[in-house]
Amino acid sequence: MNETATPRTAPLRARAEIDLAALRANVRTLRAHASGAAVMAVVKSDGYGHGAVPCARAAVEAGASWLGTATPEEALALRAAGLTGRIMCWLWTPGGPWRQTIEAGVDVAVSGMWALREVTEAARGAGMPARVQLKADTGLGRGGCQPGEDWAELVGAALRAEREGLVRVTGLWSHFACADEPGHPSIDAQLTRFREMVTYAEGQGVRPEVRHIANSPATLTLPEAHFDLVRTGIALYGISPSPEIGGPADFGLRPVMTLSASIALVKHVPGGHGVSYGHHYVTPGETTLGLVPVGYADGIPRHASGTGPVLVDGKWRTVAGRVAMDQFVVDLGGDEPAPGAEAVLFGPGDRGEPTAEDWAQAAGTIAYEIVTRIGTRVPRVYVNE
């Protein structure tokens, strides 16, 4: 086996380039899709792996009037970074940082009586009303209050707390289960139930600032679901919620992240040579192998072993053998790029590179998971700030 001696030239082992101009353009596109509704930029899970704070700032610059996070800690981090606009967080457990979140002026989601009790107690201690958004379970079967007696109890208790000056009910909201499956019967059923639950709450005296149920797929395909606000998550980052409804270009979106690595080693091997753990790939003949220094610790899915696509010197190559913790191998055939040459795992696709959706198909998952799982060892490099 002969190892080439050309030194590696790239300054970084790997990088996730985040194009903030693309993100801003996506926000403007989503605002156009939103039929006059306000746009919430969802930056949970560190901005779907893109970096919450830089993406939040760019989204606000482009006209997003709300930011959304899953956890209160994520919301408080945005406040600490100097973001002063409307922020909402929705994933709570008992004993959470209610008071800090109230004092930061963050809207909190309430799905049941235990949460309302905790938030009103925290508001009493803070000496200021909590901004509360009541979540309705219209059919997802996850978070949210059930319709009927449970919803009536929650709405009534929230109104009593509002009269006491402990809360301000700022929103009524829900979440779709199947908006990414066009024509699914649950879509209309959830919309009907949401309207009914909103009508009941407003009939009891709730005066919300915003009513919202639309996620990314509903923003793009269901104008009747837009109400006052749409919550855009994956679409913000230029990825389609589902191939079934169309690709990013079909909606005027551009993927924001490009993941690349510098080839660490290039070497010649004979035919019949096993590659990586378990020798699940054996070279069919004399060939050149390239070592790409990222692995499942960096978020490269092990399930894409033998199938994950990579662009090297203008040609698509496939992961040869198993993805390891820190590295994987590609069979370069007769090509011999120098160590340090760029291997592009995914990006917008306009240079011929694979996309996050290509990796999702290779790994049997969704593109959301591909971008969100990219680990902290991979530096985010922001361009077009």
Q: Which residues are catalytic?
A: 44, 277
Buried b (16+ CB within 10 A) or exposed e, 291-310: bbbbbbebbbbeebbbbbbb
Q: Indicate the DSSP class of residue 8.
A: P
Residue with tokens 């939103």: 34
| 143 touches 175 (CB < 8 A) | yes
Rounded CA-CA distance 370/199 in Å is 39
Q: Distance between CA 363 and CA 304 in Å, rounded?
A: 4
Residue 136 CA to residue 261 CA, distance in Å, equals: 44
Give strand pairing partners of 266: 290
Both tokens assigned to 92: 């709570």
> What is the enclosing helix (H) or strand (E) of 56?
helix 52-61
SS3 content of the chain, % helix, strand, coil (to 5): 35, 25, 40
Q: Which residues contact 222 (CB under 8 A, 6 or more apart)?
A: 179, 187, 214
**Pairing relationship of beta strands 86-89 and 66-69 according to DSSP bridges:** parallel
Q: For residue 182, what is the DSSP state?
A: T
C-alpha 368: how far from its chain's center? Answer: 6
At 129 the three-state DSSP class reads coil
Contact call for residues 338 and 209 (beta carbons, < 8 A) = no
Burial class (CB in 10 A: 0-12, 13-18, 19+), 17: middle
